[in-house]
Amino acid sequence: MKFIQHDTLIKFQGKPDRRFYCAFLSYAVLLLSGALFLALSGTHHAGQKVYFYVDFCTAAMLVWFIEKSFRTQPLEKHVTAFRGGLFVLFNALIIIMAGALNILSLDNALFISSLLLVPAMMLIILSFNHFIKYINVNYKSVVDLSLTDELTGLPNRRFLNMKLREWEKKPGTVCIADIDHFKRINDTFGHETGDKVLTNLGLILSAFISESVFIARSGGEEFCMLLSEPEETERVVHAIKAAMTLAYNEDINVTISAGVAYKRKHDSFTQVMIDADEALYRAKLSGRDRIVVATTR
Protein backbone atom coordinates (compact mmCIF):
# COMPACT_ATOMS: atom_id res chain seq x y z
CA MET A 1 0.00 0.00 0.00
CA LYS A 2 1.34 3.41 -0.92
CA PHE A 3 0.89 6.12 1.69
CA ILE A 4 0.54 9.79 0.87
CA GLN A 5 3.30 11.74 2.59
CA HIS A 6 3.47 15.53 2.57
CA ASP A 7 6.97 16.92 2.96
CA THR A 8 6.02 20.61 2.91
CA LEU A 9 3.87 22.64 5.28
CA ILE A 10 2.48 25.02 2.64
CA LYS A 11 2.25 24.46 -1.12
CA PHE A 12 1.49 27.05 -3.79
CA GLN A 13 -1.31 24.93 -5.18
CA GLY A 14 -5.05 24.98 -5.01
CA LYS A 15 -7.85 26.93 -6.60
CA PRO A 16 -8.11 30.58 -5.50
CA ASP A 17 -11.33 32.50 -4.98
CA ARG A 18 -12.03 33.45 -8.59
CA ARG A 19 -13.78 36.73 -7.77
CA PHE A 20 -10.87 38.30 -5.89
CA TYR A 21 -8.28 36.57 -8.05
CA CYS A 22 -9.73 37.79 -11.36
CA ALA A 23 -10.49 41.25 -9.96
CA PHE A 24 -6.89 41.68 -8.79
CA LEU A 25 -5.36 40.41 -12.05
CA SER A 26 -7.64 42.64 -14.12
CA TYR A 27 -6.80 45.65 -11.98
CA ALA A 28 -3.04 45.00 -12.06
CA VAL A 29 -2.86 44.22 -15.80
CA LEU A 30 -4.95 47.27 -16.67
CA LEU A 31 -2.77 49.64 -14.63
CA LEU A 32 0.54 48.17 -15.76
CA SER A 33 -0.52 48.04 -19.41
CA GLY A 34 -1.76 51.64 -19.28
CA ALA A 35 1.41 52.84 -17.59
CA LEU A 36 3.61 51.02 -20.12
CA PHE A 37 1.61 52.41 -23.04
CA LEU A 38 1.99 55.97 -21.71
CA ALA A 39 5.69 55.46 -21.14
CA LEU A 40 6.31 54.15 -24.65
CA SER A 41 4.18 56.80 -26.37
CA GLY A 42 5.23 59.83 -24.29
CA THR A 43 8.43 61.89 -24.30
CA HIS A 44 10.38 61.82 -21.07
CA HIS A 45 14.00 62.47 -20.35
CA ALA A 46 16.35 59.55 -19.78
CA GLY A 47 16.34 59.80 -15.96
CA GLN A 48 12.57 59.51 -15.77
CA LYS A 49 12.54 56.53 -18.15
CA VAL A 50 15.06 54.59 -16.04
CA TYR A 51 13.10 55.49 -12.89
CA PHE A 52 9.85 54.34 -14.49
CA TYR A 53 11.15 51.01 -15.80
CA VAL A 54 12.76 50.07 -12.48
CA ASP A 55 9.45 50.69 -10.69
CA PHE A 56 7.53 48.94 -13.46
CA CYS A 57 9.63 45.76 -13.08
CA THR A 58 9.24 45.88 -9.29
CA ALA A 59 5.47 46.27 -9.61
CA ALA A 60 5.32 43.37 -12.08
CA MET A 61 7.22 41.16 -9.62
CA LEU A 62 4.75 42.11 -6.87
CA VAL A 63 1.85 41.16 -9.15
CA TRP A 64 3.46 37.77 -9.77
CA PHE A 65 4.00 37.16 -6.05
CA ILE A 66 0.51 38.31 -5.06
CA GLU A 67 -0.94 36.03 -7.74
CA LYS A 68 1.13 33.17 -6.27
CA SER A 69 -0.19 33.90 -2.77
CA PHE A 70 -3.75 33.28 -3.95
CA ARG A 71 -2.81 29.61 -4.44
CA THR A 72 -1.91 28.86 -0.81
CA GLN A 73 -5.18 26.98 -0.35
CA PRO A 74 -6.42 25.91 2.16
CA LEU A 75 -4.02 28.04 4.25
CA GLU A 76 -4.80 31.31 2.49
CA LYS A 77 -5.91 32.99 5.73
CA HIS A 78 -2.30 32.93 6.92
CA VAL A 79 -1.13 35.12 4.03
CA THR A 80 -4.15 37.42 3.64
CA ALA A 81 -2.63 40.31 5.61
CA PHE A 82 0.71 39.78 3.83
CA ARG A 83 -1.03 39.91 0.46
CA GLY A 84 -2.84 43.06 1.55
CA GLY A 85 0.49 44.70 2.43
CA LEU A 86 1.95 43.77 -0.95
CA PHE A 87 -1.14 45.10 -2.69
CA VAL A 88 -0.71 48.47 -0.94
CA LEU A 89 2.97 48.47 -1.96
CA PHE A 90 1.90 47.79 -5.54
CA ASN A 91 -0.34 50.85 -5.48
CA ALA A 92 2.48 52.93 -4.01
CA LEU A 93 4.64 51.93 -6.98
CA ILE A 94 1.82 52.85 -9.38
CA ILE A 95 1.68 56.32 -7.79
CA ILE A 96 5.45 56.71 -8.20
CA MET A 97 5.18 55.65 -11.87
CA ALA A 98 2.44 58.25 -12.30
CA GLY A 99 4.95 60.83 -11.04
CA ALA A 100 7.58 59.60 -13.48
CA LEU A 101 5.02 59.95 -16.31
CA ASN A 102 4.15 63.50 -15.20
CA ILE A 103 0.55 62.50 -14.48
CA LEU A 104 1.24 63.69 -10.94
CA SER A 105 3.96 65.99 -9.75
CA LEU A 106 6.90 63.99 -8.51
CA ASP A 107 6.66 65.61 -5.06
CA ASN A 108 2.99 64.69 -4.71
CA ALA A 109 3.66 61.17 -5.99
CA LEU A 110 6.43 60.63 -3.45
CA PHE A 111 4.28 62.06 -0.64
CA ILE A 112 1.30 59.81 -1.42
CA SER A 113 3.45 56.70 -1.87
CA SER A 114 5.22 57.43 1.44
CA LEU A 115 1.84 57.55 3.18
CA LEU A 116 0.95 54.19 1.66
CA LEU A 117 4.15 52.61 2.96
CA VAL A 118 2.94 52.90 6.57
CA PRO A 119 -0.15 50.64 6.31
CA ALA A 120 1.74 48.35 3.92
CA MET A 121 4.51 47.72 6.45
CA MET A 122 2.00 47.31 9.31
CA LEU A 123 0.13 44.64 7.36
CA ILE A 124 3.34 42.83 6.43
CA ILE A 125 4.62 42.88 10.04
CA LEU A 126 1.23 41.70 11.34
CA SER A 127 1.23 38.86 8.82
CA PHE A 128 4.82 37.92 9.66
CA ASN A 129 4.03 37.68 13.39
CA HIS A 130 0.89 35.66 12.68
CA PHE A 131 2.79 33.31 10.38
CA ILE A 132 5.62 32.77 12.90
CA LYS A 133 3.01 31.87 15.53
CA TYR A 134 1.40 29.42 13.09
CA ILE A 135 4.79 27.81 12.33
CA ASN A 136 5.62 27.51 16.04
CA VAL A 137 2.27 25.85 16.82
CA ASN A 138 2.79 23.32 14.04
CA TYR A 139 6.41 22.74 15.07
CA LYS A 140 5.31 22.04 18.65
CA SER A 141 2.65 19.62 17.39
CA VAL A 142 5.23 17.73 15.33
CA VAL A 143 7.69 17.59 18.24
CA ASP A 144 4.97 16.38 20.61
CA LEU A 145 3.94 13.66 18.16
CA SER A 146 7.53 12.51 17.67
CA LEU A 147 8.19 12.26 21.43
CA THR A 148 4.85 10.83 22.62
CA ASP A 149 3.70 7.24 22.62
CA GLU A 150 0.43 7.22 20.71
CA LEU A 151 -1.24 4.48 22.74
CA THR A 152 -0.45 5.51 26.34
CA GLY A 153 0.14 9.25 25.89
CA LEU A 154 3.42 8.88 27.81
CA PRO A 155 6.85 9.93 26.53
CA ASN A 156 8.21 7.35 24.10
CA ARG A 157 11.58 5.63 23.79
CA ARG A 158 13.04 8.55 21.82
CA PHE A 159 12.11 10.98 24.58
CA LEU A 160 13.54 8.55 27.16
CA ASN A 161 16.89 8.45 25.37
CA MET A 162 16.97 12.26 25.31
CA LYS A 163 16.26 12.33 29.06
CA LEU A 164 18.97 9.78 29.75
CA ARG A 165 21.52 11.96 27.96
CA GLU A 166 20.26 15.01 29.87
CA TRP A 167 20.65 13.24 33.24
CA GLU A 168 23.96 11.52 32.38
CA LYS A 169 26.00 13.55 34.93
CA LYS A 170 23.35 13.53 37.66
CA PRO A 171 22.56 11.06 40.45
CA GLY A 172 19.17 9.40 40.42
CA THR A 173 17.20 6.17 40.27
CA VAL A 174 16.10 4.01 37.38
CA CYS A 175 13.03 1.79 37.70
CA ILE A 176 11.99 -0.56 34.92
CA ALA A 177 8.45 -1.94 35.36
CA ASP A 178 6.83 -4.69 33.32
CA ILE A 179 3.22 -5.92 33.21
CA ASP A 180 3.05 -9.52 34.42
CA HIS A 181 1.73 -12.10 31.93
CA PHE A 182 0.78 -9.41 29.41
CA LYS A 183 1.15 -11.87 26.52
CA ARG A 184 -1.50 -14.02 28.18
CA ILE A 185 -3.89 -11.04 28.20
CA ASN A 186 -3.31 -10.47 24.48
CA ASP A 187 -3.64 -14.15 23.61
CA THR A 188 -6.75 -14.72 25.73
CA PHE A 189 -8.71 -11.50 25.30
CA GLY A 190 -7.22 -10.04 22.12
CA HIS A 191 -4.84 -7.21 21.33
CA GLU A 192 -7.60 -4.61 21.57
CA THR A 193 -8.08 -5.46 25.25
CA GLY A 194 -4.32 -5.40 25.74
CA ASP A 195 -4.18 -1.94 24.20
CA LYS A 196 -6.94 -0.75 26.54
CA VAL A 197 -4.97 -2.03 29.53
CA LEU A 198 -1.90 -0.11 28.33
CA THR A 199 -4.01 3.02 27.76
CA ASN A 200 -5.39 2.85 31.31
CA LEU A 201 -1.93 2.38 32.77
CA GLY A 202 -0.70 5.34 30.73
CA LEU A 203 -3.38 7.53 32.31
CA ILE A 204 -2.41 6.30 35.77
CA LEU A 205 1.32 6.84 35.25
CA SER A 206 0.90 10.30 33.74
CA ALA A 207 -0.39 11.51 37.12
CA PHE A 208 3.01 10.71 38.68
CA ILE A 209 5.11 12.67 36.17
CA SER A 210 6.71 15.76 37.72
CA GLU A 211 9.96 17.71 37.74
CA SER A 212 11.63 14.90 39.68
CA VAL A 213 9.81 11.92 38.15
CA PHE A 214 10.01 11.04 34.46
CA ILE A 215 8.04 8.06 33.11
CA ALA A 216 8.16 6.69 29.57
CA ARG A 217 6.86 3.66 27.73
CA SER A 218 10.15 2.05 26.77
CA GLY A 219 8.58 -0.64 24.60
CA GLY A 220 5.78 -3.21 24.55
CA GLU A 221 4.42 -3.64 28.08
CA GLU A 222 7.54 -2.13 29.68
CA PHE A 223 7.81 1.28 31.34
CA CYS A 224 10.91 3.14 32.47
CA MET A 225 10.95 5.63 35.34
CA LEU A 226 13.72 8.08 36.17
CA LEU A 227 13.67 9.66 39.63
CA SER A 228 16.00 12.52 40.52
CA GLU A 229 15.27 12.54 44.29
CA PRO A 230 16.90 9.39 45.78
CA GLU A 231 15.29 9.87 49.20
CA GLU A 232 11.84 9.70 47.58
CA THR A 233 12.56 6.61 45.48
CA GLU A 234 11.08 3.94 47.73
CA ARG A 235 7.88 5.86 48.44
CA VAL A 236 7.30 6.87 44.80
CA VAL A 237 8.13 3.46 43.30
CA HIS A 238 5.82 1.65 45.72
CA ALA A 239 3.06 4.20 45.10
CA ILE A 240 3.43 3.71 41.34
CA LYS A 241 3.36 -0.08 41.68
CA ALA A 242 0.25 0.10 43.88
CA ALA A 243 -1.49 2.37 41.36
CA MET A 244 -0.58 0.06 38.47
CA THR A 245 -1.87 -3.03 40.29
CA LEU A 246 -5.56 -3.06 39.42
CA ALA A 247 -8.51 -5.20 38.57
CA TYR A 248 -9.13 -4.19 34.97
CA ASN A 249 -12.34 -6.22 34.91
CA GLU A 250 -13.65 -9.40 36.55
CA ASP A 251 -11.40 -11.51 34.33
CA ILE A 252 -8.20 -9.43 34.21
CA ASN A 253 -6.08 -8.50 37.21
CA VAL A 254 -3.01 -6.47 36.32
CA THR A 255 0.14 -6.81 38.41
CA ILE A 256 3.57 -5.29 37.96
CA SER A 257 7.13 -6.49 38.42
CA ALA A 258 9.84 -3.86 38.74
CA GLY A 259 13.59 -3.60 38.94
CA VAL A 260 15.28 -0.63 40.62
CA ALA A 261 18.89 0.54 40.31
CA TYR A 262 20.54 3.57 41.88
CA LYS A 263 22.81 5.86 39.86
CA ARG A 264 25.62 7.82 41.40
CA LYS A 265 26.75 11.05 39.77
CA HIS A 266 29.54 9.52 37.69
CA ASP A 267 27.89 6.18 36.93
CA SER A 268 27.01 5.36 33.35
CA PHE A 269 23.31 5.25 32.59
CA THR A 270 23.97 2.31 30.28
CA GLN A 271 25.21 0.21 33.20
CA VAL A 272 22.47 1.43 35.53
CA MET A 273 19.82 0.46 32.94
CA ILE A 274 21.43 -3.00 32.71
CA ASP A 275 21.36 -3.31 36.51
CA ALA A 276 17.67 -2.29 36.63
CA ASP A 277 16.83 -4.75 33.87
CA GLU A 278 18.61 -7.56 35.71
CA ALA A 279 16.71 -6.66 38.89
CA LEU A 280 13.45 -6.84 36.89
CA TYR A 281 14.48 -10.27 35.62
CA ARG A 282 15.04 -11.45 39.21
CA ALA A 283 11.61 -10.07 40.16
CA LYS A 284 10.04 -12.14 37.40
CA LEU A 285 11.95 -15.30 38.43
CA SER A 286 11.03 -14.92 42.10
CA GLY A 287 7.30 -14.95 41.48
CA ARG A 288 6.39 -11.59 39.88
CA ASP A 289 4.23 -8.84 41.41
CA ARG A 290 7.17 -7.40 43.34
CA ILE A 291 9.97 -4.85 43.33
CA VAL A 292 13.61 -5.96 43.38
CA VAL A 293 16.48 -3.53 43.99
CA ALA A 294 19.76 -4.09 42.16
CA THR A 295 22.77 -5.09 44.24
CA THR A 296 24.98 -2.07 44.99
CA ARG A 297 28.17 -2.16 42.93
Residues 6+ apart with CB under 8 A from 24: 66, 67, 70, 87
CA-CA-CA-CA dihedral for 155, 157, 159, 165, to nearest 10: 140
Q: How many CA atoms lie within 13 A of 208 on its CB side?
A: 28
Alpha helix ranges (H) inside 178-268: 182-189, 191-206, 233-244
- Among all residues, which ones are annotated catalytic? 221
Measured distance CA(260)–CA(222) in Å, rounded: 13
From its phi and psi, is residue 160 left (phi > 0), alpha (psi between -120 and 50) or beta?
alpha
> Closest Cα partner for 248 from 194, 286, 292?
194
Closest to 158 in 3D by CA, of 150, 5, 199: 150
